Amino acid sequence: MQDENRTVLDINDVCISYAGELAVRNVSLPIYEKKITAIIGPSGCGKSTLLRSLNRMNDFIHGCEQSGYLGFHETDLYASSTDPVEVRLRIGMVFQRPNPFPKSIYRNVAWGPSINGFNGEMDERVEKALRQAALWDEVKDRLQDSALNLSGGQQQRLCIARTLAMEPEIILMDEPCSALDPVSTARIEDLLFELRENYTIVIVTHNMQQAARVSQYTAFLENGVLIEYGDTEDVFTRPANRRTEEYVTGRFG
Amino acid sequence: MASSANNLSWRHKKAKLFQSFCLGVTVSAVTLLAILIYQVSMLGLPWLDGQFLSSFPSRFPEKAGIKSALAGTLWLVSLTASIAIPIGVLAAVYLEEYAKPNRLTEFININIANLAGVPSIVYGILGLAIFVRTFALERSVLSGALTMSLLILPVIIIASREAVRAVPSSLRQAAYAVGATRWQVIRAHVLPSALPGILTGVILAISRAIGETAPLIMIGALTYVAFVPEGPMDEFTALPIQIFNWTSRPQQEFHELASAGIFVLLCVLLMMNAVAVYIRYRGSRE
Ligand SMILES: Nc1ncnc2c1ncn2[C@@H]1O[C@H](COP(=O)(O)OP(=O)(O)OP(=O)(O)O)[C@@H](O)[C@H]1O
Ligand SMILES: [Mg+2]
């Protein structure tokens, strides 16, 4: 079973620090192709930091430094010959807080493809992305309205649609459901199952049930250290580490 | 319980008090402005007619007008705006979006802040030395516009930087995350979001340029001009210089002409503000 997996992202001995303060310490783990990998851990343990390093969003944070190797297929993500714009085209991201553009709903989804030279049928692309993100029925009659008039949960699904419209290879999601009600959350989870066929997904979540339901692999971080990584089923039912067990069963100190 | 209720009512009183204080300050500021406009209109409006707007200055008050001064000011403002706005906004974008926070950037920052506080007469001296003499632009509108541009650049840069900085970084990140280049992010998201703030700064700066007199006198703008500038190399006068000239004469009629001139100056300012409000309104609808 393990042998069938192809590694798309190879995180190898990665350390990330903010102004000299280590936030991620010597983390190594593989991200397998067309699988969902969940990153769990207490608040402030470095989940978002690690996730952002995977599509070079930490480049914009002043004072953020990184060491170690991050491989994407055969290339070094941080090599000087690697174009960060191309990295972000192929590795999309949904952020912890919804951040739609202050433009129309349609433009929010269409902007990414349009600046990257997409010249197919844009309306179709937008509709497909909105349907995938379980938002189409709610917005189909008001595509030209400002995205800022949507509810928080709708905005987050719009951000997911915006990422899907780029058809990236890997989708990084930072707690995509933290602003959603149970119904929308369930729809996003359905979406994740569907996307799993074609995309590689890395998802940060505070919701243990969600991690257990949707992911095949789980990484548990604490204070920037990778405590445990493995099959989701193993991590949740037979954790090797006592800290992991305490965390996933909710007896966390 | 009773004491905390008392406390609450006192806090409400304090809130009310502060509100009334703010209202009072606002009202007195507006009242002062109203008095100014009232006085200026009482004195000046009787003189304000087609003849006043279309005549050159004259020794005889009933024949005098502000045609050359108005034309000079319009020339000066358009040239200044087209020089200072692009440079100022681009400099602000560079400093906020591109420059790495190092010693040099810090040095530039401090200097821009200081330049904003330099008295305008000093810019006049600089303009005289550089534009009028070294570049041999003489006492032309162009010399005046370049000098004015120097004067208002720091204000435009500082205001534009504030506006660019106020654009939330989550918006930039969202744009980068769909594979945008730095230029695309700036062009499509940062500048549109910052536009209202930039415009406010630009309007304040240009208004200052319209009202400034000292640097123009310094670079040798004329006080008696009986022609309208036809190109950037022509000599010129401007509204504040004409107004200053009239107020310094002994006859009451000329003081009234000055009031009429001030009225026209205020109208030019108001018109510019209206344009800015309109652009903002259009921007917010998109
Ligand atoms: N931009 C930043 N500048 C400085 N320190 C930061 C920055 N972002 C995060 N940190 C620090 O790095 C550590 C890890 O933060 P991170 O955001 O990765 O945590 P997280 O696991 O995503 O937490 P949460 O679950 O609350 O989102 C924290 O101690 C945080 O204070
Ligand atoms: Mg986080």
Contact A239, A218 (CB under 8 A): no
pLDDT of A17-45, one tens digit each?
A: 999 999 999 999 999 999 999 999 999 99
Residue carrying the six token digits 């840069």: B157
What's the rounded Cα separation, in Å, for the pair B57 and B237?
11
Write the residue in B173, B180, B193 that is nearest to A95 by C-beta: B173
What is the pTM (predicted TM-score) of this model? Answer: 0.84
Of A24, A39, A45, the one to substitute when testing ligand 1's pocket (max ligand atoms within 8 A of C-beta) is: A45
Q: Which two tokens stand for residue B208?
A: 């200052």
Contact A219, A227 (CB under 8 A): no
Cα dist. B264→A58, A99, B123, B249 in Å?
54, 47, 26, 20
> Given a cut of 90, is residue A105 above it in pLDDT?
yes
What's the rounded Cα separation, in Å, for the pair B266 and B201?
18
Tens-level pLDDT at each residue, chain B (286 residues)? 556 667 888 999 999 999 999 999 999 999 999 999 999 999 888 888 888 888 888 888 888 889 999 999 999 999 999 999 999 999 999 999 998 888 999 999 999 999 988 999 999 999 999 999 999 888 899 999 999 999 999 999 999 999 999 999 999 999 999 999 999 999 999 999 999 889 988 988 998 899 888 899 888 887 777 888 888 888 889 999 999 999 998 989 999 999 999 999 999 888 888 887 887 777 666 5
ipTM: 0.91
Beta-carbon neighbour count of residue B50 at 10 Å?
8
What's the rounded Cα separation, in Å, for the pair B156 and B153?
5
Cα dist. B154→A49, B87, B167, B195, B245 in Å?
38, 10, 20, 17, 29
What's the rounded Cα separation, in Å, for the pair A90 and A36?
16
Virtual torsion, Cα A21, A25, A30, A34, nearest 10 deg: -40
Residue in B149, B157, B145, B146 with CA at minimum distance from that of residue B111? B157
Write the residue in B171, B181, B286 that is nearest to A85 by C-beta: B181
Cα dist. A3→A6, A214, A229 in Å?
8, 21, 17
What's the rounded Cα separation, in Å, for the pair B185 and B162?
18
Is B105 an 8 Å CB contact of chain A? no
Domain spanning B51-285, CATH class: mainly alpha
The pLDDT of residue B223 is 75
Residue in A50, A39, A53 with CA at minimum distance from that of residue A206? A39
| Range 78-107 of A in CB contact (< 8 A) with B | 85-86, 88-89, 92-93, 95, 97, 99-103
Ligand 1, atom 9, residue with closest C-alpha: A49
Sheet holding A64-72, edge to edge: A75-76, A64-72, A7-18, A21-32, A225-231, A217-222, A36-40, A200-204, A170-174, A91-94
**Residue A64 CA: which ligand is closest?**
1
- Nearest 5°: phi and psi at A40? -125, 165
pLDDT of B134-178, one tens digit each?
A: 998 888 999 999 999 999 999 999 999 999 999 999 999 999 999
Contact B284, B193 (CB under 8 A): no
DSSP string, A31-98: EETT-EEEEE-STTSSHHHHHHHTTTGGGGSTTEEEEEEEEETTEETTSTTS-HHHHHHHEEEE-SS-
Give the number of the atom of ligand 1 that is nearest the alpha carbon of residue A46: 18
What's the rounded Cα separation, in Å, for the pair A105 and A127?
11
Decide if B180 and A57 are in contact by the 8 Å CB cutoff: no
DSSP string, B167-178: S-HHHHHHHHHT
Of A15, A17, A18, A178, the one to substitute when testing ligand 1's pocket (max ligand atoms within 8 A of C-beta) is: A18
Mean pLDDT of chain A: 91
What's the rounded Cα separation, in Å, for the pair B200 and A205?
43
Degrees (nearest 5) of the Cα angle B89, B93, B96? 135
Residue in A173, A164, A223 with CA at minimum distance from that of residue A52? A173
Is A60 an 8 Å CB contact of chain B? yes
- In sequence order, which residues have a C-beta less than 8 Å from that of residue B148 and are 6 or more positions away? B76, B80, B84, B209, B212, B215
Residue A154 burial (CB < 10 Å; 0-12/13-18/19+)?
A: buried
**Residue A174 CA: which ligand is closest?**
2
pLDDT of A116-175, one tens digit each?
A: 988 889 999 999 999 988 899 999 999 999 999 998 889 989 999 999 999 999 999 999
Closest Cα in chain B, distance from residue A161 (Å): 11
Domain residue extents for chain B:
2-47, 51-285
Which residues line the pocket of ligand 1, CB cutoff 6 A? A 18, 23, 41, 43-49, 61, 96
